[in-house]
Amino acid sequence: DAKTTQPNSMESNEEEPVHLPCNHSTISGTDYIHWYRQLPSQGPEYVIHGLTSNVNNRMASLAIAEDRKSSTLILHRATLRDAAVYYCILRGTNAGKSTFGDGTTLTVKP
Amino acid sequence: EAGVTQFPSHSVIEKGQTVTLRCDPISGHDNLYWYRRVMGKEIKFLLHFVKESKQDESGMPNNRFLAERTGGTYSTLKVQPAELEDSGVYFCASSLIEGRSDAEAFFGQGTRLTVV
């Protein structure tokens, strides 16, 4: 499985934008980039995914580099509820077997 | 619509005992996955069902683990006999579309297993 690299932790102030980076230099042409987050004591929750173009949904935006070797999850206005571990995952043809990695622990300060 | 539900939420058992975890996927989701996070490590894939068939069980750690999905609905994961290193959180996920790398997976809240 292709691996991803994320910073262990990041901090943000409430109401400010947050940019969470992910490197995936070994991504294959058919891999989708997925982001999940895990709130305390809960299972992972889908956030967003993309292939080549930038994507927006009600939760976040995903900016994908032109060479697809990196991507950035953007939370436009962080809230305290956004404090979680964020995972950047590559999902290929065997999608469920994706490796989660260690993720980025996001702390949001009031 | 109900999400993925897992039972029990917590289980504490003694080494050598048997424990059975249950997962009810979202209705209509043919794909069901089991994952686990053992202490301090990342979430790892265990196996994948498509309906009642095991599509991929390459992540199952050893033969003490047995997963079933009778009738292609709910699934159980049995650990027999449990060992200390089996302690961790076991997650179940389901998705609608088989093999699609753009398909969203829905996760349950997990079962925290503690073996003492």
- pLDDT of A64-93, one tens digit each? 999 999 999 999 999 999 999 999 998 876
Tell me A5's DSSP state: B
Phi/psi of residue A99, nearest 5 degrees: -85, 130
Task: Tell me the shortest Cα–Cα distance from A19 to chain B, in angstroms.
Answer: 22
What are the residue ranges in chain A where pLDDT is below 50? none
B-interface mutation test, from A3, A30, A46, A86, most B Cβ less than 10 A away: A46
DSSP bridge pairs for A48: A35
Q: What pLDDT is attached to residue A98?
A: 74
CB-nearest partner of A96 from B31, B102, B109: B31
d(CA B74, CA B95): 13
Q: What pLDDT is attached to residue A85?
A: 96
Higher pLDDT pick, B97 / A10: A10
Give contacts of B102 with chain A, Cβ < 8 Å. 32, 49, 51, 91
Task: Tell me the shortest Cα–Cα distance from A96 to chain B, in angstroms.
Answer: 7
